[in-house]
Amino acid sequence: MSSVDEDRRHIALLYDRFDAERAAAERELLTAQRASGSSPGERALRETAVRVQTARLGRLRAGGDGLCFGRTDAVDGTRTFVGRLGLLDDDLEPLLIDWRAPAARPFYTATAAHPEGLVRRRHFRTRGRAVLDAHDDVFVHGGDDGSAGSDAALLAALDAPRTGAMRDIVATIQAEQDEIIRLEHTGITVIEGGPGTGKTAVALHRVAYLLYTHPQLARRGVLVLGPHPRFLQYISAVLPSLGETDVVFATPGDLLPGLTTDVEDAPDAARVKGSLAMVEVIAAAVARREEVPGEPIPIELDDVTVEITAEIATAARERARARGLRHNEARPVFATAVLDALAEQAVDRIGAGWLAPREAPELAADLRTDARAELRENRQLHAALDALWPELTPQTLLADLFSSPERLDSAAAALAPADRAALAREDGAAWTVSDVPLLDEAAELLGPPATVRAGAKRAARRAAEGLGYAADVLRLLDVEPADDDEIRAVDLVDADLLAERHEELDHRTIAERAAADREWVYGHVVVDEAQELSDMDWRVLLRRCPTRSFTVVGDLAQRRSVAGARSWAAALERYAPGRWTHRVLTVGYRTPAEIMAVATDVLAAHNPGCTTPEAARSTGVRPWAQRVRPDELVEAVRDEVGGPGSVAVIAPEPFPEVPGATVLTPREAKGLEFDAVLLVEPQRMHPADLYVALTRATQRLGVLHTEPLPAGLHRLAVRV
């Protein structure tokens, strides 16, 4: 067996190779960016080279720290080094295997019972580029007298202090996690697990694996949806550390471009807004803005006054709706139909009593042309059209709906009176998180306003020109190769991609473009804390990824929202029948056994039948509780903050700032972890919130309270 010093020398060689590849990529990218070319073929090759080298350099820059984290020794003597990316020698032989490659899988899945052809697995503990030490798992006895236990590397990672950002787990992926990460499922994969099972980390590593094995997904980017901005900041470094940068991070309140909100509705309003009944309510709200006048609307022209009657408006509405267009897109059809009818009316009224224009087609045509020209400029007509078929934004539609009892009674007539009352508010534009899917639904029904449609037409023309240019370029480049192994430019780029790269007016990244475009279609979507999403939330997300390529993360036991999922089948089967699969993580890596026992009692009290994960470790430190007087609470909290590592104070409502600690509500703490947690007034927390708050600590937990504790906290050691 080689010594750790030998491994250090080999890893130093890997870094030499890594540095050489990164320097070469930087040179090639710079050369490509500086290249000039006047012909379409030269420009195409330049764009392709820039794209390839930019992607290559991004992967190389992400893999520097902890480049190599493990090694396997096979029975046949083969030694394989496993790391963040793959490296080849000059003869194209592997020096380092990418962790996502099939050859690296035994590193994660081998056990003493099923060694998968290995005699040893070695874990390197690194800091930056330095190898500090190593732990061995020996699968054939007698191979190494000094090997550590199989959990040594994992336990070392679990006991390491938290830094305030999620770390990737690429070096310590466990077998049950690896099975999910590499799952070849093309639909929706649900990863369920209790607190600390690593489900979020597994989901993010699964994305990296999918983009490695299906690189076409990366062309449309990845959407990662999390419960709140602090959580997104916490996980934001994981995918870049794995070499994936085309990622949009968002909360449910961010999914409509131009609107951001974190305001929560009252439970009744959230329940109603999250239900599928709102699809019909919004459709009815749109339909009721396509009106017919109760009384004729006069339109004064130079020679005659014409009227928009109920019959004219009804016929125009039927004509517009028959086209199958969205509301704003159908408005010109309605307007044209009204204008046509008024022009005919003008012809008849101008000629009434002194001529018969219908018997003089040329005269009628002239009158009709004049009337149409005058009607197009008529302000009364424009005002009438705005009243009968207004151009609407989603915000205008819903603000008018929520602030008008009359509109609510009309559009939401199918809802119970109490549910209609839950939707009403004085300020219709006081947007909440639960409003975002409703606004998105409205946007689907309304379509873009005229100014946006005009811009889209210009963009479509440019795209068509670009596609024509691209096709010409590819025809120029598609020559017969001299050698069957020669790579042609046409093999590296297609017309769509080349046209996209050729667009000179938009140099934003994929992530920037996707975040600004409501109709952007993503290659893959990750949904965290998915148990909180309503049926209406799912409609938004499925529009963003109609291929149903999702990784869904959640824990039904932690559901807080009244509109959230009560089962995964109820949430997903209607949208992806037969195209979703469910996997459960059973081992808790974050929360030590002493704290998990307390959390289990709380869960059993409010959600019987739900199970908690099995804790992977014990710290020997018992969580405690102390009762104080209300006037002592703030000072007692500040006195308790201290000790090594990160500290969080979690209170049921906003709490004064505490030096040396992060102060959070349970909702803000979701998905986060800290070395120590101080829980304040748990008796005032919703049971689901209390369960979440209890399971944020990796080492130490204390409780301060001013009133008697809930029965579920009886395991806490009482401090006097």
CA atoms of 345 and 351, how far apart (whole Å): 10
What three-state secondary structure class fits 443?
helix
222, β-bridge pairs: 247, 524
Which residue in 244, 82, 79 sits closest to 153, CA to CA?
A: 82
Amino acid identity, position 398: L
CA atoms of 449 and 433, how far apart (whole Å): 24
As a whole number of Å, the CA-based R_g of the chain is: 32
Tokens of residue 24, six digits:
């070469």
Tokens of residue 577, six digits:
């029948």
Residue 704: which residues within 8 A CB-CB, separation 6 or more?
625, 626, 627, 628, 633, 636, 637, 640, 678, 679, 680, 681
Residue set of the binding site for ATP: 193-200
704, β-bridge pairs: 626, 680
Helix (H) or strand (E) holding 53: helix 40-62
What three-state secondary structure class fits 569?
helix
Taking each helix axis from N to C end, the angle separating 277-287 and 394-402, rounded to the nearest 10 degrees, works out to 100
Residue 275: which residues within 8 A CB-CB, separation 6 or more?
534, 535, 536, 563
Q: For Cα atoms 701, 707, 710, give the angle at the middle one, nearest 5 degrees.
A: 65
Cβ pair 682, 692 in contact under 8 A: no
25, β-bridge pairs: none
Amino acid identity, position 680: V
Length of the chain: 720
Q: Are strands 87-88 and 118-127 parallel, antiparallel or unpaired?
A: unpaired
What three-state secondary structure class fits 70?
strand
DSSP symbol at 515: H
CA atoms of 538 and 122, how far apart (whole Å): 43
CA atoms of 198 and 672, how far apart (whole Å): 11
Which residue in 175, 411, 384 sits closest to 286, CA to CA?
A: 411
Amino acid identity, position 696: R
Residue set of the binding site: 193-200
Dihedral, CA of residue 412, residue 414, residue 419 and residue 423, to nearest 10: -10
Alpha helices in 493-650 (DSSP H): 495-502, 510-516, 535-544, 568-572, 593-606, 633-640
In this structure, is the dihedral angle defined by the CA atoms of residues 261, 267, 269 and 272, taken in order, positive or negative? positive
CA atoms of 453 and 455, how far apart (whole Å): 5
CA atoms of 223 and 358, how far apart (whole Å): 62
Q: Are strands 68-74 and 118-127 parallel, antiparallel or unpaired?
A: antiparallel
- DSSP assignment of 322-391 equals HTT--HHHHHHHHHHHHHHHHHHHHHHHHHTTT--GGG-HHHHHHHHHHHHHHHHT-HHHHHHHHHHS--
CA atoms of 540 and 531, how far apart (whole Å): 15
